[in-house]
Structure formats: C-alpha cells, structure tokens
Amino acid sequence: MPKTKAFSARLKNLRAQAGLTQDELARRVGVRRLSVSQWECGRRAPSLATARRIAQALGVSVDELAGVT
C-alpha cells in the first residue's frame, strides 16, 4: 500500500463510516492501535496482507481502500 496522505485520509474516513474506533479496527485486523494511528497519520503504510484484512474489517474492497475505484 502506498504511503500517501490520500490513503491516510481514506482509511480514517472509511473507519469512521464503519463506526469503528482505532482500537476496534486494530482488534479486528490483529494489530496494535498504534499501527492504525500511524497509518492514519501517514507515517507508515500497511502491508498488502494487512490491507486485505483492513478492507475486510471495513466491508470494502482493497481497491476502494487504496483509492483505485
């Protein structure tokens, strides 16, 4: 997944739309809340495998998460 501000904003918006806190998303994905925070701040990007778990937890496609669609 690319390290971009657009991805960070998209992730934050999708998480909010799903009604999840950073902690709830982290638990569903199997990571620490700090990881979610770093993704949303643009400091780090998730691996492709983790992005798949994020997309599943948010009920979207990986393409939508990545901003391809």
Instruction: Write out pLDDT tens, residues 25-59.
Output: 999 999 999 999 999 999 999 999 999 999 999 99
Q: Give dist(CA 28, CA 36) in Å, integer.
A: 11
pLDDT at 7: 93
Tokens for 45, please give them.
Answer: 């990007």
Q: Which two tokens stand for residue 61?
A: 């496609």
pLDDT of the residue at 47:
95
State the greatest distance between any 2 C-alpha atoms of the chain, in Å, as a whole number. Answer: 28
- pLDDT tier at 4 (50, 70, 90 boundaries)? confident
Kindly state the average pLDDT of the residues 13-31: 98
CATH of 5-62, one of 3.40.50.1820, 1.10.260.40, 3.40.605.10, 3.20.20.80: 1.10.260.40
